[in-house]
Amino acid sequence: MLTYLRGTSTLLTQPARLLRGYSRAALRADLIAGASVGVVLLPQSLAFSLLAGLPPTMGLYAAILASVIGALWGSSSHLHSGPTNTASILTLSVLLPIAAPGSPEFIAAAGLIAVMAGLLRLLMGVARLGLLVNFVSDSVAVGFTAGAGILIMSNQIEPVLRLDLQSTASLFDTLRSTAAQIGELHPPSLALGLGTIGLLLILPRVQRRLPAVLLSVVASGLASWGLGMEALGVQVLGALPQSLPPLASLPLLDIDLIGQLSNGALALAIIGLVEAVAIARAVASHSRQRLDSNQEFVGQGLANIAAGVFSGYPTSGSFNRSALSFQSGAQTGLGNAFSGIFVLAAMFLLTPLIAHLPRPALAGTLVITAYSMIDRRAMARIWRGAPGDTVIMIVTLAATLALPLQFAVLIGVLMSLGYYLLKTSAPRVLAVLPDDTFRHWAYQPGKPGCPQLAVVDLLGDLYFGAANHIEESLYDMLARVPEQRFLMLRMHSVQHCDISGIRAMENILRICRERGGGMFLVRVRDPVMQVMRSTGFVQLLGDDAFLDEDEALGQLFHHTLDPAICIYECEVRAFRECQDLPKRGLVNGMVALGGHGLTPPAPELSARALWERLRGADPPLVVDVREPREYRLSHIPEATLTPLPVILSGPDDLPRDRAITLVCRSGRRSARAAAHLIAQGHTNISIVQGGMLAWEAAALLTAVEV
């Protein structure tokens, strides 16, 4: 608890850390950057407040408060907070069903929803929920931003044409009303709007560092003044108050209104945080600054609370102002704070000029800004990428154009989370084989696999949502190749395992053991191993089933797989160990060796017991049924060589009046030879338990032929 409280106090005392050790060089750089950003912030705050259906003064107040508070309590040195096109259009969409734009009720609701969204962001930051923004895919942001850009452009039709359109956030209603009133457009207003748009397109081509927005608005204002367009009916901003941001009278106790605004406040909080953190990360990729998402949540929350309390409206992070802050050389967050102070000073010094700025000019700047929001390159990349991302982008875009924006945002977020759950609940389960160099494992569906051993990559977590999918996938693999009795799972991609995953593993293990085989695991991560130990799965599976990946295949090949199947039944050389293995098919139509079970058909002798019998009065005849190459490398001194194919297909030359003990590498070929000899009438047959592996493990004498 003390650690949590200490961390919370750290989030709230960010300004103290920002000001500690602040240098004079940084002050100079921040002042220059603040002035540069302030020049852009001033006209944008006016335009965006009009976009939200609010008085221009609310945009100025929001710009002053949010830029200062967001800079002091955020973690990014360049993320600029204040009025944005997204926050403005979203605010308008949420408030339209509640009150008429510009009315006292509308203005009060705008301040209240800013406080509500700010409190949600602040609580999310204090609760350390900054990681939640990672669960909203880029497809949602790209689709929503493109749709919002189209809506913003459609909402500028009214001021540019000076039509009396019904206040609505619906694209189709706006286009329908425009078509009905197109004959009543106002040519001077249209000329100013188009002129501003033309300047905004031309100036960046002349010099990218020019403040295109400011120059375009100033030029349009001078043209309006010089040509007397205000007298011709061109609408202007009007007089602005010369005062500090006043306290707003907010309906904090209106429970009904709070309930009506709750969904919209949640949408504003979510999309604003996603937008702000995404912008901060984009700039940080150039500045190499480390960010704290929780601190950004706190900064954005306090900025919105301050804006709502002091007569502003909801704010968020601005990409173009943040990029300008970085390009202007800001050293700390105080650069953005100085931009708010610049706007405050301009309110007192430039009010007479700002009052005569034509609204069509500001609308023209918003048209270009909105058009730039449609990231066609990002949309094309998503279109060429995963189908799920494409569907999320298209649905979010369509919902943005057809539904209230808060519902469009929530639909996109829910689809993003649903897509994430779908992907994690259906991880890939791939049967893999070595590549041609035998250095790497690869998914090669067209290449035949080993008939005894399936090697499978689990590419996802073994949690309750995915356990059934993984179990069914493994079961289907085993069902397709019934003779496969052994399963080796590569677990390097499994980061998490719960009790549902353990039960799925137990079910697959049971199937393997019912077939007479087993299951082996490689590259099991420590957290997963801890769960397996604590639930008893390690004890059930056995410690020897957890193998080192570099040695696993060799160990299974030499100690677990049936060499009789490898030599006499299988034509596939799937693994490196198979390459030098002799392949000898059965002759004369003999039955497949796999038809013999694993239960020994004859009594078994331990290696030590055979050694003692060979030293006794009536030693058995030891018959080695391996291949000549194996026999030459190491064999029991008293053993004679009779390979298994000879026993199965040749004449029965073995004596029937003497005890015969069969030996092979591990006992499996001996079992098959014993089954065949017993079927031919031999009655005194035994098998060396564990074969030559057991003989050598007992340190008994072996012979070698050179």
Indicate which residues carry an active-site annotation. Answer: 664
Amino acid at 461: D
CA distances from residue 23 to 26, 75, 612 in whole angstroms, order as listed: 5, 18, 91
Which residue reads 């390459």 in tokens? 579
CA distances from residue 497 to 132, 249, 459, 537 in whole angstroms, order as listed: 22, 53, 13, 12
Q: Half-sphere exposure of residue 375, counting CA atoms within 13 Å on the CB side?
A: 15
CA–CA–CA angle 201, 195, 374 (5° rounding): 40
Can you read off the two tokens belonging to residue 96? Answer: 């339209």
Distance (Å, rounded) from C-alpha 599 to C-alpha 614? 25
CA–CA–CA angle 542, 543, 546 (5° rounding): 105
Backbone angles phi, psi at 11, to 5 degrees: -65, -35
Can you read off the two tokens belonging to residue 48? Answer: 């965006």
Beta-carbon contacts of 350 under 8 Å, excluding residues fewer than 6 positions away, are none
Closest CA to 695 of 588, 577, 609, 576: 609
DSSP-assigned states of every residue in 332-346: STHHHHHHHHHHHHH
Can you read off the two tokens belonging to residue 401? Answer: 């154009």
Distance (Å, rounded) from C-alpha 161 to C-alpha 512? 76
CA distances from residue 626 to 29, 39, 48, 613, 669 in whole angstroms, order as listed: 84, 89, 86, 22, 8
> Exposure pattern of 344-356 as b/e (b: 16+ CB <10 Å)?
bebbeeeeeebeb
Question: Rounded to an integer, what is the distance from CA 441 to the centroid of its chain?
Answer: 25
Distance (Å, rounded) from C-alpha 87 to C-alpha 73? 20
Backbone angles phi, psi at 114, to 5 degrees: -65, -45
Can you read off the two tokens belonging to residue 65? Answer: 């408060």
Q: Half-sphere exposure of residue 266, counting CA atoms within 13 Å on the CB side?
A: 12
Distance (Å, rounded) from C-alpha 325 to C-alpha 71? 12
Distance (Å, rounded) from C-alpha 549 to C-alpha 545? 12
Q: At what angle do helices 85-95 and 359-373 cross, to 10 degrees?
A: 100
Residue 183 carries which DSSP code? Answer: G
Closest CA to 545 of 517, 512, 522, 516: 522
Can you read off the two tokens belonging to residue 584? Answer: 């000898």
Give the max Cα distance, the chain.
Answer: 131
Residue 494 carries which DSSP code? Answer: -
CB 280 within 8 A of CB 322: yes
Closest CA to 132 of 9, 270, 267: 270
Exposed/middle/buried for 476, CB within 10 Å: 0-12, 13-18, 19+? exposed
520 three-class SS = strand
Distance (Å, rounded) from C-alpha 117 to C-alpha 181? 37
CB 80 within 8 A of CB 91: no
CB 297 within 8 A of CB 129: yes
Beta bridge partners of 428: 459
Closest CA to 358 of 189, 501, 212: 189
